[in-house]
Structure 1
Amino acid sequence: MSPQTAAQAMAAAAGRLRAAGVPDPARDARLLLAHAAAVDAARVTLIAPEEIAPEVAERFEHLVSLRAVRVPVSQLVGRRAFYGRDFAISRDVLDPRPETETLIDLALGARFKRVLDLGTGSGCILVTLLAEREEATGLGVDLSEAACLQASANAVQHGVAARTDIWQSDWFSAVTDRFDLIVSNPPYLAAEEMDAVAPELRQHEPEMALTDGQDGLSVYRIIAEQAQGYLTPKGRVLVEIGWQQGAAVQEIFTRAGWGQVTLAEDLDGRPRVVCAGKPA
């Protein structure tokens, strides 16, 4: 293979990714080349006219090949930006999504000293909340041991490990304390929806973090039925939802006897978070 400039390599990679049906192939080519060359993505344009070294070209080719079969970029580079911080990511945890930042904004809108994150995954929600509130402590639980290890590593990376506990637990099964705030981004895809989701999710992210294998609402029923027993008197629950689930999840919490059950939208104007408090 004759030497290529970085610009030529990115253009060829973008064409290959486009042919494979990858969304935003030019962006992904740029991010993967930056990772292969060990430079910041913002500096890729500076090296565009330069020939890339053979070892960089080899790493880039490998990364592009994996992206072409829809391995997520975050797994290939091992990290994902979320709420202004980089989180270590693997195929054992759900890739943090920008829409989840809506939950963070709502959580930070009121005071809390103790927070519980159900199904913590990478720990991005819990770690972010503790990083933003230096006086707070928190517990993250997940059924997956691999996810617990990933969340613990992210807590260390962002300097909140001393204020964080990560336990393996099937939702509330190992939880005994009470909290001012309970948050969760549970598996909310119905089993019948899984065939239609993007290959990045269906083939490369943990199924148990995506779907409950039922109607997509079973975990909301668990939280609505049990969470009041783990909240302080003025505590709140915030749960992320699928954008078409707002009315159904609100009804689940209302029927379970919660007060002030409200629905918040993300930046795209889609229903994204249900907020509930204990009845007065």
Structure 2
Amino acid sequence: MTAEGCVLAADVFSVCLTHALSTEREEIMGLLIGELDKRSVVHISALVILQRSDKTPDRCEISPEQLTDAAMYADSLQQKLKRPMRVLGWYHSHPHITVWPSHVDVRTQADYQMMDPCFVGVIFSVFNIDKQTQESQVQVTCFQSVTNLQGAHEYMRREVPFFVQKRSTFEPHNLQSLSSMPQVLLTEETLAYKSTIPTEKDEKNLVTQLYNASVYSASVCHVMDTMIGPLMSSLTNRLTENKESTKKLIEEKKRLQEQIDAINKANTDGS
């Protein structure tokens, strides 16, 4: 059995894309949570943003501990939402390179499909410049791995039909994932900096320590500039819009209630 399609909720897509655009130097990654319908179509409605232990420009790995934590989170969502929820995919970014999965991605995907044959992989290609328009473009693909007939242990990409389901609002759990993203990025930078701090046994080089501290400061400023500021602005604007919508709905409810009261009164007088 293989996945016949993948439907990504719009708010999940937005969080994944925001995560992918958070850095153009290294790949980011996360896990996708959802349910499987009778047609073997994967419906993704939640995600888990993963903290990278090793930041590289062309490689990302998910530890067994992270998979376990994501499975526990899926169980908690299942109890809260009262519908089947499980880890059904992973996503990562390809900054400055094509959207197509590498041989490492295909091999990694094959490993995940051993746990669940409908497990899918989603790749966001970001920070690529269109040669004709000279504009930055974003490409997305969804794939699975299939055995290459030329070798029993060779795998190749199988493209999975991919759709984004329109949704006008953010689910609370996805809004929480979005708001937690800056903290995840800051934790990554802090852990990377702490790993460079020499112990008492190590040789202390003042110039190296100053350089590492300046890199850490620049990284923190980058997160604040590109993530925290815009995110705060976006959430503030969304809050303002929600308050205006709530006010209009209250007024509409009041108007409809007055009409209902008038109709009821007319019926009472007529009887």
Give the TM-score range, shorter chain: under 0.3
The alignment's TM-score, normalised by the length of structure 1, stands at: 0.24
Structure showing greater Rg: 2
**Higher relative contact order by CA 8 Å / sep ≥ 6: 1 or 2?**
2
